[in-house]
Structure 1
């Protein structure tokens, strides 16, 4: 059953990353599916609530300083990932995802710091890797 839960999560974040890459929007059903799938098995309410509340804080703060930094869908998906993975795994997922996004967008794609790019594909990669790392 745990494999089924993780499979739903992985497929949902892949879908979110793909849609964000193509249309620069993350559908609301993505967040709901991620949060509902976390309830299936091996659910820890304390870890889920702390991940949901604390993981999106840096993204919310960045919006206060500059409205064009992070989209609302990115903040919601980070919260949903925090609910699914918890604070520790979620923090690792976000660090991995943001590191990959900086490497790809600044160094490989040679984008300017002010250019916009979809964040969900990188967060999805970081979440998958975090789930994979902590599964063993």
Structure 2
């Protein structure tokens, strides 16, 4: 329970920081990693799931960043890697997809409000990743099952 609260608190701090300053400090990422380590030590997490989650979470954004430099910031990569370490590979995959959909929604709203000039504005992706990670934390298994039953 303590590790879950630390994880959610880290997500909250990361989202607020990225929304306000377009930056996710390493201390907030560290909170999420500590929560993941705590889960492993107390036996509520699995080492293989955590390692695969970290690799997949960081790998997704790192590959996109290599293909299109400047698309994401390093904080987003570290955030998704830490989130994957805490939640595992399936959950981080779902969280990434949710984050992209949510951020896409913000982009559509910006374009509808401001027109073409909205395309040149930077978007804080971290809050949407945090929201996706939080949604998966609370109902990730249900989302995964719903998706694969289709």
User: Offset at 1:131?
Assistant: 0.6
User: Offset at 1:4?
Assistant: 2.1
Q: Any unmatched runs of 5+ in structure 1?
A: none
Matched, 1:68 2:101: no
Q: For 2:54 and 2:19, locate their aligned partners in 1 and report how far apart those are by CA, in whole Å.
A: 24
Matched, 1:85 2:83: no
Q: Any unmatched runs of 5+ in structure 2?
A: 112-117, 143-150
- Give the CA RMSD over aligned residues: 1.5
Q: For 1:104 and 1:117, locate their aligned partners in 2 and report how far apart those are by CA, in whole Å.
A: 9
Alignment correspondent of 1:12: 10
User: Offset at 1:44?
Assistant: 0.8
User: Offset at 1:40?
Assistant: 2.1
Matches of residues 1-136 of structure 1 in structure 2 within 5 Å?
3-41=1-39, 42-105=44-107, 107-110=108-111, 111-112=118-119, 114-134=120-140
Q: Which has the higher helix share?
A: 2
More relative contact order in 1 or in 2 (CA 8 Å, sep 6+)?
1
TM-score by length of 1: 0.89
- The structure 1 segments of at least 4 consecutive aligned residues displaced by more than 2 Å after TM superposition are none
Q: Secondary structure at the match of 1:16?
A: helix
Q: CA offsets, 1:58-113, max 9 Å, x none?
A: 211222222210111110111000000000011111111110000112x112132x
